[in-house]
Structure 1
Amino acid sequence: MNKEDTQKYKPIFVNSIPLPLPEKKIYSRLGHNRHLNEISAGQQRKIANAMIAASACCKLKGVWLKLAITEFGENSFTLENGTVFQSEKLLRLVRDCSGLAIFGATAGHEIVERTAEFAASGDGVSALVYDAVGSETADAAMGWLQNYLNQIFKRSNEHLTRLRFSAGYGDFGLENQKEIYRLLDLGRLGVELTPHFLMVPEKTVTAVAGVIKVN
């Protein structure tokens, strides 16, 4: 890809995502942990306070890119920049779409570091809470981005598919994370990709969704 193409397919960064604490989802995640099924009133207060403190450690940022779909194959499709994604399930999602939105969000390093500190010090409750807050907040940020993109695309009579796909889901192999990472230039958000296609910090999520043109 030459320099001109790199500029043409440049991702757009969202430097701050304003998001309320997704308390219900966090409590739901914690409720599935057998260690927190029976806790005292004091522990309940500790959890509530830890959730607020953990939320302050989440520095939510996002990035997105929209590319036209130029060709459909038997179980793959090609984007305007030459990227080919192979997945029968994803192909079914985007078959009637004109483009693909690729987007990602990260809660940053601090929330992960604090979780590890609590675990190392033996404070398992706080570690569980911080981990849950980081996971649910990053996921909620993806929902926020999806709504945000729908508002932008509405101006050009477009909208996203309701469903979104992440690398590693179904037959959309985890190795696709490498191309998604490159296209979104996630290094600019302080995100690294391991040789096994895992993102660091771990409270980072990426996904793709189809872009539907409304006639």
Structure 2
Amino acid sequence: MRDIKVMKALKPHFNKNLIYTRLGYRRGFTKLDRSEESRIDSIIDTTVKALDIMAAYRIVDILNVNSPLITLENGIQLKGERLSKLLNGCHQALIMFATGGQKVMDLIKNLQIENRLSDAVVVDAAASEITDSALDVVMSHVAHNIRYLGHVLTKMRFSPGYGDFDITQQAILYGLLEAEKFGVLLNEAYMLTPEKSVFAIAGIGKMSTGGIDD
């Protein structure tokens, strides 16, 4: 397998509207007064400062896609019809993860202890969205690096727990990236610690094949 690449101290661009969506607000539909919006934006800024985002990725060969099974190098198998569709026509897979670190989780816990529950909810939503945005950074970086090889990356990525890509397969991605070496833990319920951690997979195909599903 190819070496694991690490990206530290990431400050990803993120869509603030998506944080509001996670909070249940809909721009143009949900009325939000300026003071409340200012409060939320201030908490988002605090969240950004508390995050210590790092990411890691590796590229592995795809040996076969026979929906719903995907066989990677060394005989490792993933399962999912939608994932199979995403990886159809791809010869490699990009396996990646990002974590927001423990400090932001401590912030959430302290806010809960102080009974500032609404603030804790905002931090939770912001941390989730911003950490996920770090995977955009990974994908952009990899897409740039493989372009000179005549390869292209799928626009979409799937995370365990999405659709029929069962959460139990989180353990496979976790192992491929040796995430325990980066301080990320996986429990028996396939949940991650720090909680603001996310794994995903995307596909790599050849431009000459006429494109790949995205």
Give me the TM-score of the superposition, normalised by structure 1. 0.87
| Matches of 1:133 and 1:113, distance apart in 2 | 14
User: Are the counterparts in 2 of residues 75 and 87 from structure 1 also a CA contact under 8 Å?
Assistant: yes
* Contiguous gaps of at least 5 residues in structure 1: 1-7
**What corresponds to 1:105 in structure 2?**
98
RMSD, aligned α-carbons:
2.0
**What corresponds to 2:162 in structure 1?**
169
Q: CA deviation at 1:91?
A: 1.3
Q: Does 1:134 align with 2:110?
A: no
| Matches of 1:74 and 1:43, distance apart in 2 | 48
Q: CA deviation at 1:168?
A: 1.4
Cα 1:179–1:38 shift into 2, 3 Å: same
Q: CA deviation at 1:200?
A: 1.0
| 1:18 aligned partner, one-letter code | K
User: Are the counterparts in 2 of residues 69 and 100 from structure 1 also a CA contact under 8 Å?
Assistant: yes
Q: How does 1:24-173 map to 2 (within 5 A)?
A: 24-32=17-25, 41-173=34-166
| Matches of 2:65 and 2:18, distance apart in 1 | 37
| Matches of 2:137 and 2:49, distance apart in 1 | 18
| Matches of 2:108 and 2:174, distance apart in 1 | 25
Q: Does 1:211 align with 2:211?
A: no
Cα 1:19–1:72 shift into 2, 3 Å: closer
User: 2:6 is paired with a residue of what secondary structure?
Assistant: strand
| Matches of 1:169 and 1:71, distance apart in 2 | 21
| Matches of 1:53 and 1:71, distance apart in 2 | 45
Cα 1:120–1:91 shift into 2, 3 Å: same
How many residues matched?
205
**What corresponds to 2:176 in structure 1?**
183
1:15 pairs with one of 8, 15, 36: 8
Cα 1:111–1:163 shift into 2, 3 Å: same
Q: CA deviation at 1:171?
A: 1.7
| Matches of 1:21 and 1:211, distance apart in 2 | 24
User: Are the counterparts in 1 of residues 86 and 203 from structure 2 also a CA contact under 8 Å?
Assistant: yes
**CA deviation string 1:130-177 (max 9, x = no partner):** 111101101111122211211111121111111211111222111111
Give me the TM-score of the superposition, normalised by structure 2. 0.87
Q: Does 1:201 align with 2:186?
A: no
| Matches of 1:210 and 1:21, distance apart in 2 | 23
User: Are the counterparts in 2 of residues 158 and 213 from structure 1 also a CA contact under 8 Å?
Assistant: yes
Q: CA deviation at 1:87?
A: 1.8
| 1:211 aligned partner, one-letter code | I
User: 1:125 is paired with a residue of what secondary structure?
Assistant: helix
